[in-house]
Chains A and B, each alone.
Chain A
Amino acid sequence: MTELLLSRHRELGLTDREYDLIVELLDREPNGVELAMLSLMWSEHCAYKHSRKLLRRLPIEGPHVLLGPGENAGAVDVGDGLAVAFKVESHNHPSAVEPFQGAATGVGGILRDVFAVGARPIAVLDSLRFGEPLESPRSRYLLERVVAGIGHYGNSIGVPTVGGEIYFEESYEQNCLVNAMCLGLAPRERLIRSAAAGVGNVVVLLGALTGRDGIGGASVLASAELGEGDEAKRPSVQIGDPFSEKKLMECCLELLDRELLVSLQDLGAAGLTSASSEMAGKGGVGIDIDVSRVPLREPGMEPFEIMISESQERMLCVVEPERLGEVAKVCERWETLAARIGEVTDSGQVRVLNSGEVVGDLPVEVLVDKCPTYELEPRGGGPPPAANALRANAAGSGPTAPRDSLLALLRSPNIASRRPVFEQYDSIVQSRTVRRPDEADAAVLKLPDGSAIAVSIDGNGRRVACDPRRGAAEAVYECAANLACVGAEPLGVTNCLNFGNPEKPEVAWQLTEAVEGIAEGCEALGVPVVGGNVSLYNESPTGAIFPTPVIGMVGKLPDASKAGRLGFLCEGDAIALVGEFEPSLNGSELAKLQGEPPHGPLPDTESRFVRDAQRIVRMGVRSEALHNAHDIAEGGLAVALAECCLAGGIGATVELPGDFELFGEAAGRAFVVSGPQDRLTGFQTIGRVGGQDFEIVGRLKLPITELSGVRDGGLRYA
C-alpha cells in the first residue's frame, strides 16, 4: 500500500522528501486529486524551485513599470494614457515532442497571458534554437514544423509576428528551444490583476471544453529531461485552436471594456489547479470549484483530470453575482462558452467538489507558497558541456582569406537571410508595423499619438556558454542596441532562462552567473525586468543545451516617422563606427565555423561606454543625422557592413587598420552608422556608401549581388 503511494508521487515528479513535507503540512496523506494538484503546483515549472531565490537578484523597479513580475504579464507606461504589457515564455519540451502543436500552443499561451491583464495583443516575436540544419534532418523537420506552427496560430488569430531570432547549435539537436514573446496594448486604467476578491463572487470558466489533453504537461514535459521514448509523451502536448482563442480574446476584452470582471487569469500549465490557486493566493481568499460544472469534451473524466487538464483556449474569471447576466450576453455574442464553476470563499482553501461532494481540500498556502526552494550548488568555470566540444574535431579546416570567411559566414545558418522564415509570418496585420523584419534591427509599431514602440528579442547561447556572466549581460546590451538603432529608449525587459538540469553543479553555475549578468546589464542601462519565465531541465542523453537566457526588450521612440533603418541609403554618405569596440574571436561565429568549442573570456566593456554609444546612436537616429544604424553582432564588423549593403541594395568602401579583427564580436557595444558627411563631424568615419561592391580596402572586395545570393541561399528550405 505504502509502496504503491510512494511510486505514485514519484511518477508525478515529487521527491520522497517533498511528499513527506506535504503529509506534514496537511497532517494527513493527500488523496489522489490532491496529489495530482500538488505535484503540478510543486513542479519546477510552476514553483520555480531552483530559480526563485536567484531571480530576486534582478532589478524590478523603474519609473515606467505598471505591472511587475508575478502578474500574467509585466507592463510599462508608454505615455498618452497607454500601457504595453509583455512577456516571453518557453514551450521547449512540447515543441521537441510535437513541433507544430507545441509551437502553436506556445503562441496561444503567451497571447492569453497578455490579454489576461487586459491588453490587446499587437505583436509576437519568437526566439528559436535548433540543431545544425545542414547535418540534421531532425533539425530541419523541427524548424519547418515549428515555423509552420507559429504561423498557424499567429497569422490566423490576427496578431503580427514582427520579429525574432534563430540560432542553430548542435547542443539543441534533441532539445530545441521555442520561446514566444507577446506585446499587448491597453488603456492604462484597463490593466487588470489576477487576484480573486469578494467572498461570494462567482468563478466563471470561459472558452473551450475541457478534455484529456495535456494531462500533467507541466510536470511530465516541462520539468524533466527529454529522453528515449518521448513519442509516447505526445498525448501530453495540447492542440491549439486559434479561432476559439480569437473569440475568447475578443470576449475577454469586451468583458473588461464593460467592467464586468473582478479579476481574470489564463489557464496554462496545470490548468484549473494553477489558475484557481494563483487567483486565491494573490487575493488572500479561498476558492471552491465544482468539477461537475466544468463543460467537458469527453465523458467519464475523473475529477483530478478535470483539475489538471491543460486544454487550450480557456480563461478563469471572477464575477459579481449581479453581473452574471451581462457576462452571459457578451459571451453569447462571441460564441464563447461561460460556465459558473465555483465561488470565492473566505476559507483560504482550494476546495474541489464533485456535484457538491468534497473530493479535494487543500490550503492555498500549501499550493502556492510552501513548495521547498532549493539552493543551487554551483561549481563552474570548467570546460563547457562535452556534447558541444565535438565540433572541435573539425578544427583548423576553416577558411582563412577574408573574402572566403565573409562568404562562409553569410552562408552559415546562424547568419544567412531569415527571409524564408519570416515570410511565413504575417508581420503587418493590425496596421501598426512601421519597420518589418529585415528593415531594421528592432521591430517598430506605431501608436495613435504618432510615437512608436520598438521591440527586440535576443540571446546567444554560444557566447553564454563561453562566459555566462558577460554573455548574459551582452544579450541585454544587444537588445538595447537594437532598440537604439531605431531611435528607441528601453522601458522594460522580459526574460526566459533556458538552461539544463540545475541539480548539476555546472548548470547551476551557468544559471547563477547568467542571472548576475542580466542583472548587471539591466542595472547598467537602467531598465527593469517586469516578468519572465524559467525553463530548466533542457537536456538530452548527450548533455545540457548551451545556457540560453533570452532577453525581450520594449522601448519607445517619440516619432514613428523617424524610426531608424538597417540599410545604407544614399550614395556618398559617410560610414562611421560608434562605440568602444574591442572585438574578439572568442565565441564568435567565425570561431564556430573553424570548429572551435566555445571558450572565453568575452570582451569586457565598461558599462558607461555601452550606455554612451547607445545614446549617441539613439539621438543620431532621432535627429535624422543618421540614415542608417546597425549594431555589430554575429560575424563582426565585416558581416555588419555587408548586411547594411544588402538591406540598402547599395555598395560601400571602407578602410580599416591592417590588424583590425574583421570578424571579431562584442555585441551591443558598437554600431555601423551612415549619414551626410557634414552631420557626422566628431564620428569615427571609416568609408563611404556607394557603388555595387562591398570593399574593405586591401582585405576584400565583392559585388553585393554575390553577397546576396550567398546569404539568401543559406537557410532555404529543402
Chain B
Amino acid sequence: MVGDAVPLWHAERDLKGVEAVIVPGGFSYGDYLRAGAIARFAPVMEDVIEFAQEGGLVLGICNGFQVLCEAGLLPGALLPNASLRFVCRQVELEVLDPDTSFTRACARGQRLSVPVKHTTGRYYSPDPVHALLRYAPGQNPNGSQDDIAGVCNEQGNVFGLMPHPEHAVDPLTGSTDGLRIFESIRAEIDDRVVA
C-alpha cells in the first residue's frame, strides 16, 4: 500500500484534507460532448484547481488527464485516436524524465508495462511540453504527437497520462509497473512532510 484512498464527491467543494488528488479515468457525463469538457465544471474541480495552484500534487489518469487539460491545469489537448476506435491494450512506456514528483521512483529510459484504454487519447500541443512518459517505439496506440503518453505542467506538480497505472499494481491482473508512479507520489509527499 502506498497510501489511503479518500473518495471525493463531484458535487461537494471539499478535498477532505488529502495530500494529493487523483482525478481518475472513466466516462464523466458519458463523454457525450467532449471528453472531460463537462466534468471540468464540477464543483469539486474549483478546489482541485486551487489545490494545484498552491503547489498540491494532482494526477490525472485517462479521463482525468482530459479533465485537467480542459481545466487548463495541463497544456495541450486530447484528440480522437487516429483509428477513431476505442483501444484497450497493454503497452510499453518509456520514462523520459525521472526527476519529477511523479516519476522519481523510476529510472531514465525505464520501460513500464501499463494498459491503455480510451477513444480520445491522441495528445496534441502546439507548444513544447514537459513529457514524462512516452510510448515505446512502435507502440503508440493512438497517434499521439511525439509518442507522448503523459505530460506535466511547468511547475511540475500536475501530471496527466492516458495509460492506467492503477491497472498495473497487482501481478494477478497484469504487471506491477504502475506502482512506480504511486510510489513516486508517496515518496514526494513524505519528503514534503519532513521538510
A155 to B121, CA, bound (A): 15
**Chain B nearest Cβ from A275, distance in angstroms:** 25
Contact with A along B14-37 (1 / 0, CB 8 A): 000000000000110111100000
A560 to B172, CA, bound (A): 8
Candidates A157, A243, A434; contact of B173 at CB < 8 Å: A434
B27 touches A155 (CB 8 A): yes
A431 at the binding interface (Cβ < 8 Å): yes
A423 at the binding interface (Cβ < 8 Å): yes
The total of chain B residues at the interface (CB under 8 A) is 21
A148 to B85, CA, bound (A): 8
A425 at the binding interface (Cβ < 8 Å): yes
Hey, which chain B residues are within 8 Å of A424, CB to CB?
A: 85-88
A140 at the binding interface (Cβ < 8 Å): no
B117 touches A155 (CB 8 A): yes
Contact with A along B157-175 (1 / 0, CB 8 A): 0000000101100101110
A194-247 residues with Cβ-Cβ distance < 8 A to B are: 241-244, 246
A492 at the binding interface (Cβ < 8 Å): no
B150 at the binding interface (Cβ < 8 Å): no
Number of A-B contacts (CB under 8 A): 57
A-B residue pairs in contact (CB < 8 Å), sample of 24: A148-B85, A155-B117, A155-B119, A156-B27, A156-B30, A158-B27, A242-B27, A242-B30, A243-B27, A243-B30, A246-B27, A423-B86, A424-B86, A424-B87, A425-B86, A426-B88, A428-B117, A428-B167, A431-B167, A431-B170, A432-B173, A434-B172, A446-B172, A561-B172
Hey, which chain A residues are within 8 Å of B85, CB to CB?
A: 148, 424
Q: Interface on A for B, CB 8 Å cutoff? A: 148, 151, 155-158, 241-244, 246, 422-429, 431-434, 446, 560-561
A422 to B86, CA, bound (A): 10
**Chain B nearest Cβ from A462, distance in angstroms:** 29
**Chain A nearest Cβ from B176, distance in angstroms:** 13
A424 to B119, CA, bound (A): 9
Hey, which chain B residues are within 8 Å of A432, CB to CB?
A: 173
B86 touches A155 (CB 8 A): yes
Given contacts A242-B27, A446-B173, contact A423 B167 (CB under 8 A): no
Hey, which chain A residues are within 8 Å of B64, CB to CB?
A: none
B75 at the binding interface (Cβ < 8 Å): no
B30's nearest neighbour on chain A, judged by CB, is: A243
Hey, which chain A residues are within 8 Å of B86, CB to CB?
A: 151, 155, 423-426
B60 at the binding interface (Cβ < 8 Å): no
Hey, which chain A residues are within 8 Å of B88, CB to CB?
A: 422-428
Candidates B26, B29, B89, B173; contact of A423 at CB < 8 Å: B89
Candidates A158, A422, A428, A560; contact of B26 at CB < 8 Å: A158
A560's nearest neighbour on chain B, judged by CB, is: B172
Hey, which chain B residues are within 8 Å of A425, CB to CB?
A: 86, 88
Hey, which chain B residues are within 8 Å of A429, CB to CB?
A: 117
A243's nearest neighbour on chain B, judged by CB, is: B30
Hey, which chain A residues are within 8 Å of B115, CB to CB?
A: 428
**Chain A nearest Cβ from B57, distance in angstroms:** 23
